[in-house]
Amino acid sequence: MPTALIADDEPLLAAALQSALARLWPQLAIAAVAHDGVSALAEINRLRPDFAFLDIRMPGLDGMAVARSVAGCRVVFVTAYDEYALQAFDAAALDYLLKPIDDVRLLRCISRLQQMAPSPIAAPAPAAEAPTEYLNWITAGLGNNKRLISVDEVRYFKANDKYTELALDGETQLIRTPLKELASRLDPRLFAQIHRGLIVRLSAVRGIEQDMLGRSFVLLKDGGDKLPLSRSFAAQFKSM
């Protein structure tokens, strides 16, 4: 069953779109409804829906930024403004719906979506035809204290009980995504796993040292932490 997310900062309009989709495409499951861009991006990364119906002007993060930050999710923009159409298709949007949406126009959009090939997440195409899209943004923090973080800010990821710790410059943040899942979504040209519970950004590494007991450690730049390098990952890491 295909799934979708709706993001609109006007709850009544989000509910109206959800109702219209339920009438016109009953097989589509609405996985979540978000009312700001940061929440929309977080839910897309968490739920991995097939489609996202995004408003463009939203607080926190606009729809364009959300669309450019996700992979494996097909985007339809739903907006009251027609001046963003060119930018929308530059962001690889499948359709651009102007509010208020009538059933005829929405049905045309639905027909287009139904004819699409299966989601790249479910049935990946060969790499030459569909390059892998890696994680660019992470929603970190717990409860209401959430923050959108670029993966470029992360020095290393560390498994921490039920959470994963993100080590940034001078601070740490927590996310619920397991380290094992993160490993498959990070660009291997930028990150490497050095221990069962550690993934490090390669550009943050200063070198490797061994202690008198033969144990190896990865040294980080700028006087950063010294991280254990396990034997099972050592050969692969040292060849990078």
CA dihedral 204, 38, 50, 133 (to 10 degrees): -20
Residue 114 has pLDDT above 90, yes or no: no
pLDDT in tens, 12-23: 999 999 999 999
pTM summary value: 0.51
> What is the model's pLDDT at position 88?
61
pLDDT digits (tens, 9 = 90+) for 183-194: 888 988 889 999
Preceding omega of 228 cis (within 30 degrees of 0)? no
Class of residue 133 by CB neighbours under 10 A (exposed 0-12, middle 13-18, buried 19+): middle
Encoded amino acid at 102, one letter: D
Return all residues near 117 (Cβ < 8 A) that are at least 6 apart: 123
Homologous superfamily, domain 150-238: LytTr DNA-binding domain (2.40.50.1020)
Across 188-205, average pLDDT: 91
Residues 76-86 have pLDDT tens digits of: 999 887 766 66
Residue 87: is its pLDDT beyond 80? no
Mean pLDDT comparison of 43-57, 90-104, 138-152, highest-scoring range: 43-57
Domains 3-114 and 150-238 share a fold: no
CB of 166 closer than 8 Å to CB of 157: yes
User: Which listed CATH number (3.40.120.10, 2.40.160.50, 3.40.50.2300, 3.30.1130.10) goes with 3-114?
Assistant: 3.40.50.2300
Domain segments of the chain: what residues?
A: 3-114, 150-238
C-beta atoms surrounding 13 within 10 Å: 17
